[in-house]
Amino acid sequence: MLEPQWGDIGRHWGWVALRGVVAILFGLMALFMPAITLSALVLVWGAFALVDGVLALIAGVRIRDNGKPLWALIIVGLLGVAAGIVTFLWPGLTALLLLYIIAFWAIAAGVFQVIAAIRFRKEIRNEWLLGLSGVVSILFGAMLVVQPGAGALALVWVIGIYAMFFGILLLVFSLRLKQHRAP
């Protein structure tokens, strides 16, 4: 099996860090501005999914694994961009439909993050952070599917807490990647 080119991955650690910062900012906004109407939340979440998707696409294309793009990140990016575009095309989505879109996105992103963590487990230390963020994403998405009747305020808080946790884990993981920069 060919090994990933870690110097290249480490050189682009900032894209992963930027994803973490965007997630934390979104989470803080959701927590400290809970009176946001659900329609505003739909648009804010759409913007978050779109920005996160674009950043994941950039990272997936720029980070090379034996000269090839990281397809797991590219797929996560495409899902995020698609979820963001769908949200903007139909801003009148009901809370339940938004919940299922967020749930699908979180589960899919989580699965691909776990796959990436497994792929990297022999090359970098503490890859479990990426795997843990994937497991948290999967559990978050599953919780939304199982408990769709949560109130709008609770939904805003849960999304905010999830986004902050997701962002913190991505920031910590990005610092690990930074250690793998080529000299």
The amino acid occupying position 114 is V
Query: Distance between CA atoms of 134 and 138, rounded to whole angstroms?
Result: 6
Q: Which two tokens stand for residue 131?
A: 């795997």
pLDDT score of 73: 85
pLDDT score of 1: 43
Please report, for residues 49, 119, 141, 159, the alpha-carbon distance to residue 99 in angstroms, rounded to integers and kept in the order given.
13, 30, 9, 10
**Residue 64, SS3 per DSSP:** strand
**Residue 69, SS3 per DSSP:** strand
Q: Locate tokens 């505003």: which residue?
A: 40
pLDDT along the chain (183 residues), means of 10: 56 86 90 73 86 92 77 90 89 71 89 87 78 90 78 74 91 86 67
